[in-house]
Amino acid sequence: MSDNGDSDTSSTSVDNNLTVQIARALASFLSKSAIFACGGAVPIQDRKDDETSAAPVTIRWDSSRSIKKLTLPLSLDRNADRDARLAALVRDTQPAGFGLKGKDVVDESYRKASKLDPTGFSTNFCPYEAGIVDAIAQALLPTRTAKYHGVRAELYKLNVYRAPSGLFKAHVDTPRSTLQFGSLVVCLPCAHEGGQLVVRHDGHSRTFDWTGSSDSVQWAAFFSDCEHEVLEVTSGYRLTLTYNLYACTGLGQLGGNCTALESQQLPLYEEVKNALANPQFMPDGGTLGQYCRHAYAHTTKAGADTLPQVLKGSDMVAHEVFSALGVDIRIRPVLDHITNQDDGCGPLDKKFHKRDHVGMGLGDPVAVDSYEQDSIEDVYAEYPHSWEAVTWLNGPRHNTSSVEFAYLRYGNEASIEFGYSYCALLFNVLSYAKRVEVAKAEGYTLE
């Protein structure tokens, strides 16, 4: 794919119609920004030296005559009366209402649950320490303003949905501030069945099923304008901590190194997995490309050293998903396409329409040798690059380009001109046969 020959066998205009269709579907999926919810799991380990896990969750609450304590999962609670303590916690909660026309209403046909307010309990669980808040900041934080790059999670309630028939019908939350952009639901490690959280937005739907598990803290976060519901709990107790999410100042550097974010929960994951599983999609392999939707300092050495850690939004999501599916990823500068350049030397050879000049690596701008008789093709040829056929999922955003190289341009007087590049994610898609082998080695199947 990256040889410098003139052959049209690996052209950007992919001959395989199905490959084009699937690439367009992926591009359409990205362009609709269908990333409205994310989630994951943090295992519970009773070991202080394990930085990838959370400690057992302790809850202390005000009872009628004393302060009581419960540890979850129950298997790690050393008190003989742990089942009675769980029942006491449920008994000490109050009916949970919902907002209706500015009032708090209790109606068990619409919501059957109970709650404790933050003033009535405390817990050692911290979503910041678990890495959840940082994961949300990069995967879900809206890009409506450059002022806020972080997330503040404010504890709102402890909720209990118990069998039989604990539920919350479909609804949309009302933001409590102009800076509130979403909600976080943390499911505590307490065995139950049912109670799936279903989140819907713009024709898309995500279901978070936490049934049966009592050895990890599981979570989901979603935008405030998402419709969501809790399906009926059929067995046990579904205990959750809910948080309001607010945009705040902060800095995220988690791309490519985020253990708390579960790639399988991202909506793009299934789309990419299905494409890779299709034997007619790039059967012989090739290169998919995504121009970064956000601007990065990719033409400086210091900025290059921060990638992929500072990827954000859909850039980070694409990187995480393709990486989780065993696809090799390169982050490279791609020159502003040569067909956009006009040096007055007439039309370019058709071969230039079918490939891109991909830089050999990120870093500071370089100087390119040029001579009086050189055309723009000659100048581009002097830039250190590979000449590649890329199937692009999107087009470049002009406000994300940066100076990549400088050269002398001759006319009546010599002048210094500049070539520009865009930061891009290049996904090296293997042949179908090799994709199946990689999937098996990574512990999942494509078929």
Instruction: Quickly list DSSP for 132-156.
Output: HHHHHHHHT---S-SS--EEEEEEE
Question: Is 1 strand, coil or helix?
Answer: coil
Q: Which amino acid is at 222?
A: F
- Mean residue pLDDT across the chain: 84
User: What is the model's pLDDT at position 2?
Assistant: 39
Show the domains of the chain with their CATH numbers: 17-31+284-442 (no CATH), 37-264 (2.60.120)
Q: Which tokens go with 256?
A: 């490519």
Side-chain-facing half-sphere of 79: CA atoms under 13 Å: 14
Distances from the Cα of 245 to the Cαs of 152, 158, 341, in angstroms? 6, 16, 46
C-alpha to C-alpha distance for 16 and 282, rounded to whole angstroms: 8
Average pLDDT over residues 282-287: 95
In DSSP terms, 429 is beta-bridged to 286
Is the pLDDT assigned to residue 3 strictly greater than 60?
no
pLDDT band at 38 (very low <50, low <70, confident <90, very high): very high
Is the pLDDT assigned to residue 398 strictly greater than 50?
yes
User: What is the model's pLDDT at position 234?
Assistant: 96
Is the pLDDT assigned to residue 429 strictly greater than 60?
yes
Is the pLDDT assigned to residue 417 strictly greater than 90?
no
User: What is the model's pLDDT at position 267?
Assistant: 75
In DSSP terms, 67 is beta-bridged to 62
pLDDT band at 251 (very low <50, low <70, confident <90, very high): low
C-alpha to C-alpha distance for 59 and 102, rounded to whole angstroms: 31
Average pLDDT over residues 403-431: 86
Is the pLDDT assigned to residue 199 strictly greater than 90?
yes
Confirm if 15 and 283 have CB atoms less than 8 A apart: no
Is the pLDDT assigned to residue 11 strictly greater than 60?
no
Side-chain-facing half-sphere of 112: CA atoms under 13 Å: 14
pLDDT band at 416 (very low <50, low <70, confident <90, very high): confident
Average pLDDT over residues 175-193: 90
C-alpha to C-alpha distance for 155 and 233, rounded to whole angstroms: 23
Is the pLDDT assigned to residue 437 strictly greater than 50?
yes
pLDDT band at 348 (very low <50, low <70, confident <90, very high): low
45-96 pLDDT, tens per residue?
866 656 667 889 999 999 888 899 999 998 887 777 888 999 999 999 999 9
Is the pLDDT assigned to residue 155 strictly greater than 80?
yes
Q: Which amino acid is at 110?
A: Y
Say how many C-beta atoms besides its own lie within 10 A of residue 368's C-beta.
21
Helix (H) / strand (E) containing 186: strand 180-187
User: What is the model's pLDDT at position 354?
Assistant: 76
Buried b (16+ CB within 10 A) or exposed e, 65-88: eeebebbbbbebbeeeebeebbee
User: What is the model's pLDDT at position 255?
Assistant: 61
Beta strands in 211-354 (DSSP E): 216-223, 227-248, 286-291, 328-335
Confirm if 426 and 390 have CB atoms less than 8 A apart: yes
Average pLDDT over residues 8-17: 49
Confirm if 396 and 300 have CB atoms less than 8 A apart: no
Average pLDDT over residues 225-249: 93
Is the pLDDT assigned to residue 5 strictly greater than 80?
no
User: What is the model's pLDDT at position 438?
Assistant: 81
Is the pLDDT assigned to residue 343 strictly greater than 90?
no
Nearest to 27 by CA among 287, 322, 271: 271
Between 408 and 348, where is the model more confident? Answer: 408
Percent over 70 (pLDDT), the chain: 83
DSSP 72-138: ESGGG---TTHHHHHHHHHHT-EE--EEETTEEE--TTTEE-EEE-GGGEEES--TTTTTHHHHHHH
Q: Alpha-carbon torsion 186, 189, 190, 193, what sign?
A: positive
Query: Of 11-20, 102-111, 314-323, 425-434, which has the strongest mean pLDDT?
Result: 425-434
Say how many C-beta atoms besides its own lie within 10 A of residue 121's C-beta.
22
Confirm if 391 and 14 have CB atoms less than 8 A apart: yes
Place of tokens 């800076």: 179
